Amino acid sequence: MEPTPSMETNPTLELVHSHVSVRAYRPDPLPARLIETVVAAGQCASTSSNMQVYSVIAVTGQEKRNRLAELCGSQEQIRQAPVFLAWYADLARLDHACALRGYTQETGYVENFLVAAVDTSLAAQTAALAAESLGLGICYIGSIRNHPQEVIDLLEMPRLTFPVTGMTLGWPAGKARVRPRLPLTAVLHLERDERQNEEQDLQQYDREMLATGIYQGRQVPVPGRAGEIEQYSWSEHSARRVSQALRTELRSILEKQGFSLR
């Protein structure tokens, strides 16, 4: 997303605005110190009550990355990138702390899992920014939740943990294009949630996404207008996505892991 001329800027903001998802990597391995640097930066993220209820597993072995690729929708980038980071909500560590201090951890409510999921996401995003500052590329892998039980078993994750997101990490092979984001007016509201221009915002964003060529050559019927055809773009793509029931087994696996979500 390019900043508008009215926005303040500095090197950090320029780095933020230059973010791209990297899906092609050089085969060069990453030194352990670089992985540690990236994850240590993630640890500096904000965390609820300083509980730090997340962990991350760095997977560098080819065989295990191949299996993760299968579990995550056969994504070639997972096989290709030298590192796969599995970021996961982790209340197991606090269970140990409670046992040491004579307490019993309450993990049965939605809030407990939300705190851990938010902590995990904040740490992952801070690590992503740190990686990009070093010239590395990343791509989030939400499909780590396609087969979460198999991921849990493969990575030997204990009770009271759950994989929130994956992340490929490595040196980019080539340069990816920055994708536009929704207009700021679509997401920034002052004093109250105000949406009177939402249709115009969505139409503007559809035009911007069409200009990137991401949906090249795809057409769909215009809703409510028989016989009319329009270019497939973000609104159609996203509406199709959210109209499907996906990963419907997550609750049962969360409960099995100790998150009963009351």
pLDDT in tens, 95-111: 999 999 999 999 999 99
Length of the chain equals 262
Q: What's the confidence (pLDDT) of residue 3?
A: 66
Torsions phi, psi of 241, nearest 5? -60, -50
- 102: which DSSP letter? T
Return the residue matching tokens 């994956």: 166
Q: What's the confidence (pLDDT) of residue 4?
A: 67
Q: What is the mean pLDDT of residues 202-226?
A: 86
The percent of residues above 70 in pLDDT, for the chain, comes to 98
The alpha-carbon radius of gyration of the chain (Å, integer) is 21
**CATH superfamily of this structure's domain 11-176:** NADH Oxidase (3.40.109.10)
The one-letter code for the residue type at 16 is V
Q: Where in the chain is the domain with CATH 3.40.109.10?
A: 11-176
Binned at pLDDT 50, 70 and 90, residue 7 comes out as confident
Binned at pLDDT 50, 70 and 90, residue 227 comes out as confident
Return the residue matching tokens 């500096």: 44
Residue pair 35/129 in contact by the 8 Å Cβ criterion = no
The one-letter code for the residue type at 11 is P
CA–CA distance from 247 to each of 52, 196, 214, 244 (Å)? 26, 33, 26, 10
What would the pLDDT profile of 59-96 be if each residue is shown by its tens digit? 999 999 999 999 999 999 999 999 999 999 999 999 99
DSSP per-residue letters across 92-117: HHHHHHHHHHT------SHHHHHHHH
| Tokens coding 142 | 């939400």
Instruction: Quote the strand ranges of the chain, DSSP E.
Output: 54-59, 83-90, 137-141, 161-170, 219-221, 229-231
The one-letter code for the residue type at 49 is S
